[in-house]
Amino acid sequence: MSEVWHSVCARDEVQAGAMLPIEIGDMHIAVYNVDDEYFATDNICTHGFALLTDGFLDGDSVECALHGGCFNIRTGKALCEPVDVDLRTFRTRLVDDRVEVCIDGA
């Protein structure tokens, strides 16, 4: 399977404790900064159409603003009702102070 790294934002566009919505093609992806570690997941909740970046980031958990479902952003694991389907996660890396996200099979 091929993998493609996409440069998505400058490192300082996502401060510690913050998240940023980005789009790669027609994919909606959320980039998170947890204590200067960067993570990326699908940005659309698995329960309904809501952007997780409109919700709340608490440590390494994101809470959906629509119905309060929570996910671990490191693993994508669904943590609490009403969500029961995990989020897709993506690898990230820093290159020259830019955040890159890896999309498999792109």
The residue ranges that bind ligand FES (CB under 6 A) are 45, 47-48, 50, 64, 66-67, 69, 82-83
Of 96, 94, 106, the C-alpha closest to 31 is: 94
Min separation Cβ 11 and ligand FES, Å: 28
DSSP structure string for 4-29? EEEEEEEGGGS-TT-EEEEEETTEEE
* CB nearer to ligand FES: pick between 64 and 99: 64
Q: Are 66 and 45 in contact (CB under 8 A)?
A: yes
Q: Residue 14 or residue 70: which is nearer to ligand FES going by CB?
A: 70
How many Å apart are CA 100 and CA 98, to the nearest integer?
A: 6
Nearer to ligand FES, 9 or 79 (CB): 79
Of 53, 57, 51, residue with least CA distance to 35: 57
Q: How far is the CB of 47 from ligand FES (least distance, A)?
A: 3
In the complex with ligand FES, which residue's Cβ is closer, 30 or 83?
83
